Amino acid sequence: MDSAATDASGAEWISVMSLILAPVSIFVLWRTGCWRLRAPDGPLGSPWRIPAVASLGLFGLGMLGGGLAISLIPSSWIPPSTAPLRSMALIGWAATIGSLLFCVPALLLARSLPLPEGATPPTTARRGIWMGVAGFLIAIPLIQTGAMLGQLVQQWLSDATPNLIAHETLSALVSVTPDIWWWMVAANAVIGAPVIEEILYRGFLQQAFRRAGAGAWPAILLTGSIFALMHYTVLPPDTAISALTALLLLAIALGMIRERTGLIAPCIIAHAIFNALNLGLAVWLA
């Protein structure tokens, strides 16, 4: 069997499994009622401590910190386009570390602030992690099904078959033999990016919307839309609709996990699993 046939059969198998499991996910969500984002005794109050303006400011500072760190990389360290993975590794980790330098002190300080009046206390770390993993497993068939529908729309609009690899980083990783820079890019995709993106989006931005008075679902949808659109520049044009759909559904799932647990760690773990699965599938289908 040639490579193209292997890619097609693998993609078809994933699509069939997603279509089978998506109704199961919908049934579980309906039966448990967790999509209502309510505590047993009433509405689920935001457990976040940082005021809206400060939280929005920290989101901006985190983004700025990543940009400043990238600008400080000596030009001699950035190789020509013949070595794209080295550039991706240096830029990716600089952005992650630069953002963390702004975000981590704020998170540590926030732990000393009191909960808002009427807030639902966060769940325990162990329970939150289990809830995050379970939430991701419920969501992944819906995410994949949404990506398939987006792909159909993409094909209808462009009359072209979208690439199976729907991210610039994944495309770069599957096109070369793994070396030290390959592993650094992969580590940032699976560890670094989930950590900083969840702190920025589900930690600060969603918190800002909630503390400003938005309900759980409006905050989730606003944050998720911004999260998806911020990835637009690294998406190949022929897969943009499919990838944006998947990213929006992923962001909604992560936002729900944040609301249900009141913690960032479960979101980071779920996001890391998603990125690791995408990397594994890309390598398998390449």
190 belongs to a structural domain: yes
- pLDDT score for 236: 80
Reported confidence tier of residue 79, pLDDT bands at 50, 70, 90: low
Q: State pTM to two decimals.
A: 0.91
- How confident is the prediction for the chain on average, in pLDDT? 87
- pLDDT score for 30: 92
CB atoms within 10 A of CB 258: 32
- pLDDT score for 118: 79
117 belongs to a structural domain: no
Percent of the chain with pLDDT over 70: 89
Phi and psi of 38, rounded to 5°? -120, 145
54 belongs to a structural domain: yes
Q: Containing domain of residue 176, as a range?
A: 3-34+46-112+122-285
Q: Is the pLDDT of residue 133 over 90?
A: yes
Intra-chain end-to-end CA distance of the chain, in Å: 14
Q: 6-20, 56-70, 123-137, 203-217: which range is least confident on average? A: 6-20
- pLDDT score for 42: 63
Q: Is the pLDDT of residue 219 over 90?
A: yes
As a whole number, mean pLDDT of residues 252-280 equals: 94
Antiparallel, parallel or unpaired: β 42-43 and 38-39: antiparallel
39 belongs to a structural domain: no
76 belongs to a structural domain: yes
CA distance 193 to 140: 19
CA distance 177 to 181: 10
Residue 286 has which token pair? Answer: 């390449």
pLDDT in tens, 58-69: 999 999 999 999
Sequence-separated (6 or more) residues with CB below 8 Å from residue 209: 52, 218, 219, 222, 223
Q: Is the pLDDT of residue 164 over 70?
A: no
Measured CA angle at 157 (ends 156, 162), to 5 deg? 75
83 belongs to a structural domain: yes
41 belongs to a structural domain: no
CA distance 202 to 208: 10
pLDDT in tens, 36-54: 887 666 667 778 889 999 9
CA distance 70 to 48: 30
Side chain identity, residue 168: E
Q: What is the DSSP letter of 111?
A: T
pLDDT in tens, 6-24: 455 656 777 788 889 999 9
pLDDT in tens, 82-122: 678 888 899 999 999 999 999 988 888 888 888 888 788 88
Q: Is the pLDDT of residue 209 over 80?
A: yes
- pLDDT score for 178: 85
Q: Which residues pair with 38 in a beta bridge?
A: 43
18 belongs to a structural domain: yes
pLDDT in tens, 233-250: 888 877 888 889 999 999
How many structural domains does the chain have? 1
Cα 19 → chain centroid: 22
Q: Is the pLDDT of residue 5 over 50?
A: no
In residues, how long is the chain? 286
- pLDDT score for 199: 96
